[in-house]
Homo-oligomer: A and B are copies of this chain.
Amino acid sequence: MARTSDPNELFSAAVAGDRGATARLLSLIERGGEPGRAVGRIAYPRSGQAYTVGMTGAPGAGKSTLTSATIGHLRSMDLEVAVLAIDPSSPFTGGAILGDRVRMQDHATDPGVFIRSMATRGHLGGLSLATPEAVRLLDAIGRRWILVETVGVGQVEVEIAGKADTTVVVVNPGWGDSVQANKAGLMEIADVFVINKADRKGVEETRRDLEQMLDLSDLPRDAWRPPIVPTIASTGEGVVALWDAVVAHRAHAESTEQLAQRRAFRSREELREIVANRLRERAREICTGDRWDELTSAVVAHTTDPWSAADEMLAGIVA
């Protein structure tokens, strides 16, 4: 493994297949700040070839098992794959495979598979900014399929999974209760539905439920109607059909303007987010120090009003 900490050298090593170098570049991205940005600047112009598949669903829906089975299917076709497992709620991270992703360890020694867990570390923009950067790095070093798996259906997770080129939403028979809070959000991002654990009862009810919701929705996504695929991830049943659905959606997205439009939209959103973040960073720098203490004391004493105090703190930043 490369001993350098120079991002350019690490990048060259990663391109040459050094997994440790890839892991270290991802750590830099995760930590954020100027070193992370430097990695981003290297990766950006070299990215744009990969296709990303998001995978989300309630905890316990079987996403990891399904991801593992999907990796197996891709490897059987001799395709290489990288997996980012995103966990906004976990303080832990750093290349280690998390406990509940133990099944993915089947693939841990396969050089055609790269698996990485990511959690919120220091990155100021959080995972919503770090994830696209990590995807671009894996893209730039030559991975053509990137799976982005999130652990739950919280707002950040749905947002991250929804930023993939194709998004798979995994539910179980009788799914309603477990995702009640974010059903609308899941409906909106889904390009493919999977009913996993399809050996349990209630598959047909769940399918009808989904079809009905699709009937009621506006289907604004270029008239693509998300197919519903039953799977039993633990046995691998239905995984080929799932992948076929992903490939079909990709073909649709590429043949219409959908993919280009989505990517352009994501780019603009990300740029806006970066600008907003830099300003937030700046606000944090401003609201500290001796002058800040003096001004807040003056406001508390009613000798200065808060707008005049803000004007002074912002002088030179906001005209």
A interface residue numbers (CB < 8 A to B): 37, 40-41, 44-45, 47-48, 263-264, 267-268, 270-272, 274-276, 278-283, 286-287, 295-296, 299-300, 302-303, 305-310, 313-314, 317-318
Contacts and interface: CB of A to CB of B under 8 A. Distances in A.
Contact of A283 (B37, B263, B267, B275): B275
A318 B41 contact: no
Q: How many copies does the complex hold?
A: 2
A174 B40 CA distance: 55
A174 B267 CA distance: 50
Nearest to A308: B41
16 contacts: A37-B307, A40-B305, A40-B307, A45-B305, A267-B296, A268-B299, A271-B287, A271-B296, A272-B283, A272-B287, A275-B283, A278-B310, A278-B318, A279-B283, A317-B317, A317-B318
A272 B314 CA distance: 11
B40 A282 contact: no
Contact of A41 (B267, B272, B303, B307): B307
A279 B285 CA distance: 12
Given A263-B300, A276-B280, A279-B283, 6 more contacts: A37-B307, A41-B305, A45-B302, A274-B306, A275-B283, A279-B314
Nearest to A299: B267
A95 to B, nearest CB: 24
Contacts of A310: 271, 274-275, 278
B299 A275 contact: no
